[in-house]
Amino acid sequence: MAFAFFAVVLLAYCNLVSSHGSFYPRADNFTSPFANGGSWSDGFAQAKALVDQMTIEEKVVNITTGYTGKCVGFTGEVPRLNLRALCLQDGPLGVRPARRVSQFPAGVTTAATWNRTLMAARAVALGQEFRDKGVCLASLSDWLGPVTGGPLGRSPYMGRNWEGFSPDSYLNGVASYLSVKHSQEQGVLTCAKHYIAYEQETFRNPYGLPDPSFPPFVQSPVSSNFDDRTAHEVYLWPFAEAVRAGTGTVMCSYNELNGTHSCADDHTLNYLLKTELGFQGSVISDWGGTWDTEASALGGLDISMPGTAFDGLFGDFYGDELIALVKNGSVSEARLDDMALRTLTPIFQYQDLDTYPEPSFDVRDLTLPTNNVRGDHYKVIRDIGEEALTLVKNNRKSGGGLPLPKPSSLGSLAVIGEDAGPSPYGATSCGDAGNACLIENNGTMTSGGGSGWAYPPYTIDPLAAINSFVRADGPDINSHLENWDLASAALQASRSETALVFISAYAAEGTDRFNLSAYSNGDALVKAVAAVNNNTIVVLHIPGPVIVEEWIEHENVTAVLVAHLPGQESGNSLVPVLWGEKSPSGKLPYTFAKKESDWPPNTISSDPVIAPQANFTEKLLIDYKWFDAKNITPRWEFGFGLSYTTFKFGTLSIAKTFKADTTSIQPTAESFAKLSDSGSSMYDILYTATVQVTNTGKVQGAEVAQLYLSFPASADEPPFVLRGFDKLDLVPGEHKTATFELTRKDLSVWDVAHQRWEVPQGTFTLSVGASSRDLQSAVTHKFA
Ligand SMILES: *[C@@H]1O[C@H](CO)[C@@H](O)[C@H](O)[C@H]1NC(C)=O
Ligand SMILES: *[C@@H]1O[C@H](CO)[C@@H](O)[C@H](O)[C@H]1NC(C)=O
Ligand SMILES: *[C@@H]1O[C@H](CO)[C@@H](O)[C@H](O)[C@H]1NC(C)=O
Ligand SMILES: *[C@@H]1O[C@H](CO)[C@@H](O)[C@H](O)[C@H]1NC(C)=O
Ligand SMILES: *[C@@H]1O[C@H](CO)[C@@H](O)[C@H](O)[C@H]1NC(C)=O
Ligand SMILES: *[C@@H]1O[C@H](CO)[C@@H](O)[C@H](O)[C@H]1NC(C)=O
Ligand SMILES: *[C@@H]1O[C@H](CO)[C@@H](O)[C@H](O)[C@H]1NC(C)=O
Ligand SMILES: *[C@@H]1O[C@H](CO)[C@@H](O)[C@H](O)[C@H]1NC(C)=O
Ligand SMILES: *[C@@H]1O[C@H](CO)[C@@H](O)[C@H](O)[C@H]1NC(C)=O
Ligand SMILES: *[C@@H]1O[C@H](CO)[C@@H](O)[C@H](O)[C@H]1NC(C)=O
């Protein structure tokens, strides 16, 4: 059967392939620029001293090629020169796969706090766990992390969006910068990933692991095709933030770019990354992202992972073939030196390999004893989960909605749904990528699946935290922890004064979301409960937007709280907000639509052709920028989130305040047209906008003041683009000033003809408010 199916597919699609060929003609031909270390002069000098003593074989075999070892990625060692092997390990929300580690909140959850202190604190704690486990290089979406804008979130269906922060390049960039800087300060190197325009799982096709509907090596990975302005303003932006924060490594992605494998694409690697952004570290292939040794070596790839590990599943690249290519001059020895220097420079800059811990675990046997690296990280995990809680509906009529009455005045509370309780199977049955537990919603959803998952040491599910909170003087708890027996769920809800319904949606690496509906009968569950309980409160554990229209206007659904993917402390994050000890202060880091067709069409290229193409025709119009430009009313807009108190915004003002850049740990070489200032960096602060925010309600709460720019019409930008945010914690009656520092880059657009950033001439409007559509004060200004 399978064979016959393949034959039919081949016949049907061979005709189409000839019309594709290379998508765009290639206009450029760069050679890999040689690193000089930039601001890492100490690390570079040490690396150079070592590389000068190495043979060609050592540079290739022991540095640039991966092997089987204790970690998901492992380089060789050079015992002769006292250089140890480097351990590379997933992933963006915890050390994976490994035990005795924490499961942190996902990237999207962290972004929903809009709190820079928490973004930094998460990076510190993650960095410590990786370091204390002996991981040299963490895949932050390459401790093999952070996921820095690849995926950014062009498509709401992309299975990995939750690993990253937000589809808004500015918010994503802030979180990426802080994640890189604060993790690397702990010693571990970060790997900003996945570079670049990796926006769908469908047809990602790593080497050796093709889409199952095609025979091996017939269908190429999907090609992301996008223009130069979109590249700079949308997809490159967060990577620029990671590079200037000093990320030691960048991971190239599975997809192709204009028909070239991203791990061999000299335009994006050699030119955009290593020349324009001035990146001094190494480029590492995603596991199976290398397809050819010579093309990748010349195209800008420095380390091929996982090399020969996993029994050669991902091919056999670099190694002996690279030695031969260097020896016969096809790849210069200078280029090979550059690979080794780029790899070792940030290692020496950030790590003392004599004292850095050895890996204390082995991915080949997770039952071996290993050290506990969790420290008190549960606190920052809980705090992020709490500050990420985003209240999107709250109807206080007749005493319903949130917060709940104090426990002693509530007689009964229903807690309904698989997503409210523990997993019946326990974490070790989940598998190293979590998939076994998550697909059918076995217990509360704390993370998505795939390499971005991590084993939780324990999970405080919502029911456990609620039970423990109400112990002395609270309501009776009537629970029903599954989603299909609607009559039993309704019975418990009908016996309760208030009902909490927990529903979820699942997403994981490897596949895209089939639809944007809640999983596991979730919508039917909400409707069954709301039919019998007039104070039904819905909590969503989700990786991205879901469609809520089946029940959102139901008169008995009084409140909805988006809890994102909170990690191991889920229930503890929730209780203080449910009972009003803390006011919710999360804001959506993406848009919720009313229907799937409100999103840009066909953002997942799924036609089963031999060379699938993803044309990024929406260009700059990602997420809210699309809804604004097309005048589509979303269910809840980007930046939206309610509070238990109210806030008033004063008058926005703007002043010229030149401050030379002090934030670029590694300077970029981006070109720009000067204004009349004397600055020399894209990241100089040219203007500061301020607005006073007052708490006009009755309880303490925090507001995220958001600054949106509307460029002069001639610039042809989206109607509103986020260019600043400031979160302020205020007691009743208190006011504080929200401050937004605007860099040259914040005010610029990418000029394709001049190949530089330029501040457009004409009148800008700056607007400030509580969301992208709740703008309360505006001011106009001409910058150029
Ligand atoms: C790049 O330059 C080399 C050497 O000059 C040349 O052989 C090659 O054809 C060029 N490649 C492209 C894609 O232009
Ligand atoms: C690396 O280099 C040394 C020789 O200097 C060799 O003994 C060692 O086995 C090499 N390979 C790996 C994978 O470490
Ligand atoms: C793809 O090709 C177009 C047209 O030549 C070019 O403008 C764009 O920069 C290319 N994109 C990438 C990522 O190479
Ligand atoms: C150089 O070596 C590679 C790998 O063995 C081989 O494929 C290629 O043909 C050689 N090129 C020359 C010019 O000898
Ligand atoms: C629910 O119904 C009860 C009984 O009629 C009423 O006392 C209560 O105020 C109602 N609650 C809401 C939120 O409508
Ligand atoms: C729960 O997880 C187990 C594996 O641990 C799996 O077999 C099962 O299908 C999942 N779903 C349900 C509803 O049990
Ligand atoms: C969404 O996709 C899931 C998984 O394929 C499926 O079970 C569910 O029925 C779909 N829901 C809708 C509303 O189409
Ligand atoms: C709301 O809940 C009450 C029970 O409190 C029920 O009688 C009523 O029918 C529900 N309303 C709807 C529209 O289902
Ligand atoms: C992508 O754009 C190219 C060039 O305009 C076009 O030939 C091709 O049909 C498009 N492919 C898809 C899947 O839209
Ligand atoms: C941001 O997080 C920190 C650390 O948890 C907290 O102290 C601070 O109050 C938060 N800021 C706001 C404005 O909520």
Query: Is residue 15, in this structure, part of any structural domain at all?
Result: no
Choose the final residue of a domain: 590, 611, 626: 590
**3-state SS track over 578-596:** HCCCCCCCCCCCCCECCCH
Query: Is residue 610, in this structure, part of any structural domain at all?
Result: no
**Residues contacting 206, CB < 8 A, separation 6+:** 221, 254, 286, 287, 288, 289, 314
Residue 531 CA, closest ligand 8 atom number: 14
Same domain, 184 and 276: yes
Residue nearest to atom 12 of ligand 8 (CA): 531
pLDDT at 444 over 60: yes
pLDDT band, residue 241 (cuts 50/70/90): very high
Q: What is the pLDDT of residue 756?
A: 96
Cα separations in angstroms, 34 against 199, 316, 668, 745: 30, 26, 15, 26
Ligand 10 binding pocket includes 702 (Cβ within 6 Å):
yes
pLDDT in tens, 740-767: 999 999 999 999 999 999 999 999 999 9
Instruction: Count Cα atoms within 13 angstroms, Cβ side, for 164.
Output: 38
Query: Is residue 362, in this structure, part of any structural domain at all?
Result: no
Measured in Å, residue 330 CA sits from the centre of ligand 1 at 13
Same domain, 403 and 495: yes
Measured in Å, residue 394 CA sits from the centre of ligand 10 at 23
* Residue predicted with more confidence, 363 or 354: 363
If one residue of 113, 114, 118, 122 were mutated to test the ligand 10 pocket, choosing by the most ligand atoms within 8 A of its CB, it would be: 118
Q: State the residue for tokens 């895949």.
A: 139
Residue nearest to atom 13 of ligand 6 (CA): 440
Residue nearest to atom 14 of ligand 1 (CA): 29
Q: What is the average pLDDT value for the chain, to the nearest integer? A: 93
Ligand 5 binding pocket includes 400 (Cβ within 6 Å):
yes
pLDDT in tens, 171-192: 999 999 999 999 999 999 999 9
Measured in Å, residue 437 CA sits from the centre of ligand 6 at 6
Q: What is the pLDDT of residue 200?
A: 97
Same domain, 549 and 492: yes
The structural domain count of the chain equals 3
Query: Is residue 525, in this structure, part of any structural domain at all?
Result: yes
pLDDT at 144 over 70: no
Q: Provide the pairing of β-strand 756-758 with 412-416.
A: unpaired
Residue nearest to atom 6 of ligand 5 (CA): 398
CATH number at residue 736: 2.60.40.10
Q: What is the pLDDT of residue 437?
A: 67
Q: What is the pLDDT of residue 606?
A: 96
Same domain, 275 and 218: yes
The torsion region of residue 355 among left (phi > 0), alpha (psi -120 to 50) and beta comes to alpha
Q: What is the pLDDT of residue 169?
A: 97
Tokens of 405: 């009455």
Measured in Å, residue 85 CA sits from the centre of ligand 2 at 10
pLDDT in tens, 528-549: 999 999 999 999 999 999 999 9
Same domain, 211 and 87: yes
Q: What is the pLDDT of residue 689?
A: 98
Q: 446: how many CB neighbours lie within 10 A of its CB?
A: 35
Same domain, 557 and 680: no
Query: Is residue 246, in this structure, part of any structural domain at all?
Result: yes
pLDDT in tens, 496-523: 999 999 999 999 999 999 999 999 999 9
Q: What is the pLDDT of residue 472?
A: 84
Clarify whether 286 is annotated catalytic. Answer: yes
Ligand 7 binding pocket includes 517 (Cβ within 6 Å):
yes
Residue 442 CA, closest ligand 6 atom number: 1
Residue 228 CA, closest ligand 3 atom number: 9
Same domain, 681 and 569: no
Measured in Å, residue 435 CA sits from the centre of ligand 7 at 17
Ligand 5 binding pocket includes 398 (Cβ within 6 Å):
yes
Measured in Å, residue 32 CA sits from the centre of ligand 1 at 13
Q: What is the pLDDT of residue 18?
A: 27
Same domain, 212 and 290: yes
Tokens of 554: 């139901």
Measured in Å, residue 556 CA sits from the centre of ligand 8 at 6
Same domain, 399 and 452: yes
pLDDT in tens, 11-67: 222 222 222 233 333 344 567 899 999 999 999 999 999 999 999 999 999 999 999
Choose the final residue of a domain: 590, 606, 633: 590
Measured in Å, residue 513 CA sits from the centre of ligand 7 at 9
Same domain, 340 and 394: no
If one residue of 437, 506, 520 were mutated to test the ligand 6 pocket, choosing by the most ligand atoms within 8 A of its CB, it would be: 437
Residues 222-229, mean pLDDT to the nearest whole number: 98
**CA pair distance 403, 393, nearest whole angstrom:** 12
Sign of CA dihedral 433, 435, 437, 442: positive
If one residue of 535, 537, 554, 555 were mutated to test the ligand 5 pocket, choosing by the most ligand atoms within 8 A of its CB, it would be: 535
pLDDT in tens, 561-612: 999 999 999 999 999 999 999 999 999 999 999 999 999 999 999 999 999 9
Q: Relative to the alpha carbon of 307, which ligand is closest?
A: 2
Query: Is residue 36, in this structure, part of any structural domain at all?
Result: no
Ligand 2 binding pocket includes 62 (Cβ within 6 Å):
yes
Query: Is residue 27, in this structure, part of any structural domain at all?
Result: no
Same domain, 334 and 413: no
pTM for the full predicted model? 0.95
Q: Relative to the alpha carbon of 268, which ligand is closest?
A: 3
Q: Which range in 212-226, 341-355, 380-394 is most confidently predicted, on average pLDDT?
A: 380-394
**Residues contacting 407, CB < 8 A, separation 6+:** 469, 470, 473, 474, 475, 579
Our measurement of the distance from residue 365's CA atom to the centroid of its chain's CA atoms, rounded to an integer in Å, reads 29
Q: Relative to the alpha carbon of 585, which ligand is closest?
A: 10
Residues 226-237, mean pLDDT to the nearest whole number: 97
Q: Relative to the alpha carbon of 55, which ligand is closest?
A: 2
pLDDT in tens, 459-485: 999 999 999 999 988 999 999 999 999
**Residues contacting 261, CB < 8 A, separation 6+:** 221, 289, 290, 291, 292, 295, 296, 299
Ligand 3 binding pocket includes 258 (Cβ within 6 Å):
yes
**Residues contacting 423, CB < 8 A, separation 6+:** 429, 430, 437, 442, 443, 444, 459
Q: Relative to the alpha carbon of 294, which ligand is closest?
A: 4
Choose the final residue of a domain: 590, 618, 635: 590
Measured in Å, residue 523 CA sits from the centre of ligand 8 at 17
Measured in Å, residue 547 CA sits from the centre of ligand 6 at 25
CATH number at residue 480: 3.40.50.1700
Residue nearest to atom 11 of ligand 9 (CA): 613
Range of the domain at 730: 645-781
Q: What is the pLDDT of residue 436?
A: 63
Ligand 5 binding pocket includes 399 (Cβ within 6 Å):
yes
Residue 265 CA, closest ligand 3 atom number: 14
pLDDT band, residue 424 (cuts 50/70/90): confident
CATH number at residue 247: 3.20.20.300
pLDDT in tens, 705-739: 999 999 999 999 999 999 999 999 999 999 999 99
Same domain, 385 and 344: no
pLDDT band, residue 6 (cuts 50/70/90): very low
**CA pair distance 231, 601, nearest whole angstrom:** 20
Percent of the chain topping pLDDT 90: 88
**CA pair distance 107, 503, nearest whole angstrom:** 20
pLDDT band, residue 438 (cuts 50/70/90): low
Ligand 5 binding pocket includes 395 (Cβ within 6 Å):
no
Phi, psi of 520 (to 5 degrees): 55, 45
Cα separations in angstroms, 659 against 144, 685, 741, 744: 34, 5, 10, 11
Residue nearest to atom 11 of ligand 6 (CA): 440
* Residue predicted with more confidence, 161 or 18: 161
Residue 615 CA, closest ligand 9 atom number: 1
Ligand 2 binding pocket includes 74 (Cβ within 6 Å):
no
pLDDT in tens, 258-292: 999 999 999 999 999 999 999 999 999 999 999 99
pLDDT in tens, 672-700: 998 887 788 999 999 999 999 999 999 99
Candidates 90, 168, 286, 419; catalytic one: 286
Query: Is residue 562, in this structure, part of any structural domain at all?
Result: yes
